[in-house]
Every structure is written in structure tokens, then in C-alpha cells.
Structure 1
């Protein structure tokens, strides 16, 4: 923790894997913050005031940061040399940044849409994930808001059977890339210490891998559709899946 560090304010939808990416980095770096948790669509009231559109938004004395990668780069800039999220060596830093972009643009988006295909019609699964830690009134209004948000989510994230097949292939492609990187027995994706690339991969894969150390309670297996659960288990059995789960087990305190 930096001396006299005023706590940041982190605006989140708690279940968001992009928010988890930032939350994990803050926890790992032991930087003080207060999480302002909201469910859809109420988060927009908070993010708009802070100059953002979606979550996460990190509110700091140095300004407000409205993208998960920008937030991690800011945290890196104020962290001591022995706790950097991006390597000092230019070649390694470029590798981390390219992997982080891949995970942000390909893995995170695909995981979200693919998972919603299986669970968006089940309010009993959605409610605890959307409302954990949010203000009482938002939780109270969930039954009224959910039907509206369900339709918006389906449209916004292209949730349908055809796209689900494509998104799952996209997830498998990213996992295959990580499998290749891990084939030489390395402990981290780039270099000899944890980096933004590791945080990005593990956190953005977390909604489907469901590591027990995740701050959001995992769904019980019997709640999930059999096909969804089968494909989740298949991903868990890959080298990439095991890598992400191990990062949670050893680094997500």
C-alpha cells in the first residue's frame, strides 16, 4: 500500500469479469479501494457521473479511468518496481499487452455471450450474480427490471444458438493459444512473474471455469444445463483451464 493512499472507488457490476480483472489487480497490489457495486442498468447512474459508460470505472485523485486495461496500466504506474503488472523489458511488455488485448477482445466477449445463452432465461441463476453486494433497492427491484434487461442483454450481446456455437469456438481458440504458451512448462504467460496477461486470462475465463476463490459465488452444478456444464468441464481439463484455476488457488487471496 502506498503511504497515505486515499482509497479508490471502483464502480462495478460485481459479476462482470472485466471488473474482476481490476478488482484482483487491486487486491494483489494491496491498494485500498471501496467497491461501489450495482446491477444492470443502475450502474449507469454511477459510471455516467464519473465520466464513463460501462464498468469498470476507477475513481482516483489522479482522474477517472474507464477501461480495464487503462486501469491496470494506471495501477502499474503507481506500483513499486517489484510489483509491476507489465514487464520492464520492451519485448516482454509488448507480449503482455498483445495477450491482454486478445483476452479482452476475444475471450471476455465470447465468454459473456456464450454463458448468457445458457443462463439468461433462468432468473434464479441470474439474480444472485447480478445483485451480490448491490444496494437493497436494486435487489428489491430485480423482479421488475430483469425481464427488460433480459431482452436488452440478448440483443446487445448477440445471444442465440448460432452465435453461441461461434463464441464457444472462439473460446476454444484462445484456450488453444494459451495451451501453446504453456507447453514449455512455464509458470506464467510471459516472463517469470505474474503480469496483466495472467490476470486478464484467468479473470475473463472465470465465469465459465468458476474457481471457488472468486468473490462471486459459483452456481451449483445441478442448476446449470447439462450441455453447458459438460463444455465447462472440458475447458477445465485443458492446460489453460488448469492454469487459470491454479492462479486463483495460489494468487487470489
Structure 2
């Protein structure tokens, strides 16, 4: 099997979905750090299109092109269940993913703005050292870019957190009586949810709240269970 090239933003929880899917399906791949969205380059694609963009399109592509892999991300039948998986993960992407990213960025900017240079860490080793003069000089510019790009200055933080709490509580209620988010097997819905909430490991307000414990530990349990069985 020829290797796929993944163009990624290393710190992106959206890109984490693609890495997890590739690992889960045991598809060999090489990483190239990128500054925009996740893209995969497929060698010798018969359809003539070597690139697949956006995490939703990539997950669907991997499931179709690598059907013999041991783990399917989207159930082939019934059609209603497959569509439910697609709808659930699209909702997580359009709501939870954006909420988590903004909440985490706001917390970092409020508490440790000098650490923003870490976004350049894959390219420059000094970026991991917040005391380095270069990190101190570049961090304010990165912070301004983040504020403008994600409109962080317009965020009503409590309103955003309340929407996030509702999603986490709904998921927690479901997981009390179910092992997976859609149907009785791991799917792209679980993969998406687990990847998108990963940044909350750095947000005490959520990680220390017992109401969300089931939701936030769902990722750890699934990763351990799935990769241990390989």
C-alpha cells in the first residue's frame, strides 16, 4: 500500500481526526505541516484528483477507498444509520469544534499569551520556549492574528460555554446507556467528538466538572480499546 501525504496543522483538533482515521485503518502516511486546512494527497489516484480537502470529505474518501480495512467509519447499512453518523459528525464540526477552539484560544490569550509562539514550534525549536526573546516578540502578533481570524473579540464567552455545556451534557446522557454515539459500533461520530474535545484537557473548568466526566473520558476509553485490539 502506497503512502498518503497528510498536510496538517499539528495543533488542530480537526486534523487530529484525520490522523486517528489513518492510524485506525492502518494506512501509511507522511506528515507535512501546513497553515490552512487538512489535505491528503493520494498517489496514483484513478479518478485523476490527487487531493482531498476538508476533514468530512477526507473521512468519507478513506472509508470508500479503503473498504477492506478492519474498521469502517460509516456503516454501509441501513442507510438511515449511515446518514445519522454523517449528520451527527457534521453537527459536532459546525458547533462543538468551533466552540472548543474559541474557548481554548480565549483561555490561552487571557492566561498565557506568551505561549502563542508554540504554533511555530514544528518549524522553530525556540518557539517552545516562552522565555526566548523571539517567542516574546512574535507572540503578540500571533495573538492579534488569532483574535482577528476567529473573531475572538466578539465572543460572548459565557454564552459560548453554555452552548458547549449543553452538548457535553447531551452526550453524557447518551453514553450512560450506550457505548457509542450512533448505533452500537464505533463510527466517525465517535472519532469526531473525541478529537474535537481533546483541547479541553487544558481547560480546568470543564475537565474538573464531574458532570462532563463521561463525555471527556469517552475519547481515552475508545482510543485505548480500539488500538489495543489491533
CA 1:86–1:164: 2 relative to 1, 3 Å? same
Of the candidates 82, 98, 105, which is equivalent to residue 93 of structure 1? Answer: 82
**Structure 1 residue 235: deviation in Å?**
6.5
After TM superposition, list the pairs within 5 Å mapping 1:22-171 onto structure 2: 22-38=18-34, 43=35, 54-61=36-43, 62=45, 63-81=50-68, 82-89=70-77, 90-121=79-110, 122-128=112-118, 130-132=119-121, 134-136=122-124, 139=127, 143-160=136-153, 163-171=156-164
**Structure 1 residue 231: deviation in Å?**
3.0
**Structure 1 residue 120: deviation in Å?**
2.3
The TM-score with structure 1 as length reference comes to 0.75
SS of equivalent residue, structure 2 residue 6: strand
Give the distance between the partners of 1:250 and 1:205, measured in 2 at CA.
18
SS of equivalent residue, structure 2 residue 156: helix
SS of equivalent residue, structure 1 residue 65: strand
1:205 equivalent to 2:197? Answer yes
Task: Indicate the structure whose relative CO is greater, using CA pairs within 8 Å and at least 6 residues apart.
Answer: 1
Of the candidates 230, 238, 244, which is equivalent to residue 213 of structure 2? Answer: 238
Superposed CA RMSD:
2.5
CA 1:236–1:151: 2 relative to 1, 3 Å? farther
- Kindly tell me the number of residue pairs found equivalent between the two proteins: 215
**Structure 1 residue 77: deviation in Å?**
0.8
- Runs of 4+ in structure 1 deviating by more than 3 angstroms, as ranges, are 123-128, 136-145, 235-238
Give the distance between the partners of 1:252 and 1:83, measured in 2 at CA.
11
Give the distance between the partners of 1:138 and 1:75, measured in 2 at CA.
36
**Structure 1 residue 179: deviation in Å?**
2.2
Give the distance between the partners of 1:114 and 1:181, measured in 2 at CA.
24
1:18 equivalent to 2:14? Answer yes
Q: Which runs of 5+ in 1 are unaligned?
A: 44-53, 211-218, 220-227
